[in-house]
Amino acid sequence: GDSVTQMEGPVTLSEEAFLTINCTYTATGYPSLFWYVQYPGEGLQLLLKATKADDKGSNKGFEATYRKETTSFHLEKGSVQVSDSAVYFCALKSEKLVFGKGTKLTVNP
């Protein structure tokens, strides 16, 4: 069945560092791909999405490109801030939304 694998955390970075959180997927057909973020004490929020190959989703300085050839959707940000500290979930949707296990990011000042 469909599955999502993302890098295990926790990830700890200093402010202004470059961030990459790897995500790869297995799916039949052509799923949509998502990154969700869960800030401390809050519910899950959609961060960005891409619906077809080579689409780039972007929001709040984060980017991810739908790579069909490598079945990947890696999340990147050029300069992280303390306020980016959260848990990040990669997900795919064909019939159902399938999530990765989440990666906790801590950004220190």
Partner 1 sequence: GAGVSQSPSNKVTEKGKDVELRCDPISGHTALYWYRQSLGQGLEFLIYFQGNSAPDKSGLPSDRFSAERTGGSVSTLTIQRTQQEDSAVYLCASSSPSGGRYNEQFFGPGTRLTVL
* Using rule CB under 8 A, residue 45 touches partner 1: yes
Find the shortest distance in angstroms from Cβ 96 to partner 1: 6
C-alpha 51/C-alpha 41 separation (Å) is 29
C-alpha distances in Å from residue 10, one per residue of 13, 68, 73, 93 = 10, 27, 19, 25
Output 18 or 60, the one with its CB closest to partner 1.
Answer: 60
* Using rule CB under 8 A, residue 51 touches partner 1: yes
Task: Check if the beta carbon of residue 104 is closer than 8 Å to that of residue 11.
Answer: yes
**Which residue ranges make up the site for partner 1 (CB under 8 A)?**
32, 36, 42-46, 49, 51, 89, 93-102
